[in-house]
Structure 1
Amino acid sequence: MGIRDWIEGRWREMDGHGRELMMVGCWAVWEVRNKVIFEGNGVVGREIISRVCSVMEEIEGGRELELTVGGRKGHGEVVKGSGGWQVPEPGLVKLNVDVGVKEGVGVGVGGVCRDETRKVLWGMSVFRKENWDPRIAEVVAILDGLEEAAAAGHDAVVVESDCLEVIEALQ
């Protein structure tokens, strides 16, 4: 049996929530793959699995998850997520942004805004044919997100980004 047959078989067995988690897991793998290709970061399997756990924890409401690598539970290496996405304080909304930069192609800018109940309030996704440094793209993502937040009537926004240099500069 090939991987495609295996995936299609599991897909048919899953309910809607299981399918959602599978797609989120695939997205997390794709995200790590892009960091390897576009940023030249070397990644080991354990890091990919940890990222998948973290993203799934976020979807599952912060419940800590773990996966076993190299064997069944109790016989392999256990990899845990980071503890999941943290909700903003009541009265605040949280804006998470991320970018993808491919030299000579352009910049993908995305964001999602959620409240303290984890409810998604809105999202954004923009492609620009620009050749920006990833840090500049991250700043643009934050600015775009803050403009969207203001247009939606949010005046108390917590910003999250995976670009520590930009976050430190903003602080």
Structure 2
Amino acid sequence: MRRHISDGRETRIEGHAWILGTHSGRFISTCTEGNEGRFVADLIRPNCEWDEVKIDLLLLPFEKERVMNIRVSPNRPRDCWYWGFDWDIVYSVKMAYAMLLCSEALATKPNIAARVEGEFSKCSFCNSFAESSLHLFRDCRVAWWVWEGLGVEGVMEEGGSGVRDWVEVCWKGTVESKYGKFMVGYWALWELRNTVVFEGSDIDPEKVVRRMMDVLEEGDGMGTVAEGDVVGIGVVSRDGNGAVLWGLSIVRNQNWDPSMGEAVAILDGLQEVAQRGHRNVEIESGCLMVVEAL
């Protein structure tokens, strides 16, 4: 996972992978004394241009060139995570939801409550604490049962200032070959949570663990190939305050890659927007390739 720089306020100069054109996404030069723990925003001027003087003091010439080629957003949104493209990985819905987790954009109850008045916000598993991402996937006792059953050590004790730091630390420590137990455990918990919420299913962590162990044995930890040529597309429209206006769900008999599916979803959404007569529309997407193309 790598960081996409927008305003640089949440990405560390050292410690986060954010440099373009390198395998690791990190620097090989050593920051000068006193710069440890600084954020990328310290290298950006108020006019959204890179501060060459500061960069010259910190980085090697070829590293500076790569940083200067990173386009800083004039709109100054938050930095975000994205997957660095790898030909050896089949990108799937699981990976897209992992990015939503890192961005704290999953449809957890508190996130829904922020948009829908009166929505209950307690954890779907324990019903004792607010259903934050960290609680749902790390701190809840049901999460502990799943992680222990999968044999993923250390996930429950890992800290960090937020869910993104936690995910990054866990991801580094649980990758096996190109399949990750962390990804499987995260997906298992999210799937279990949704069956509890939408189907009223019983909470059975042991059953979930058995199913996920079968998935790992089949080599389906990070990516899957869909059975048949079917693509599901979803669009959600919100007003200026974040309240949901309407949603759109379409199933197409196609075999598109994720970026094409995202582009078609935007097209379908814009067509629906036009039919409804909306104006002043902003588009949000988790696909960096499509965002940059727009």
TM-score by length of 2: 0.31
- Please state which structure has a larger fraction of its residues in strand: 1
TM-score by length of 1: 0.50
Q: Larger C-alpha radius of gyration, 1 or 2? A: 2
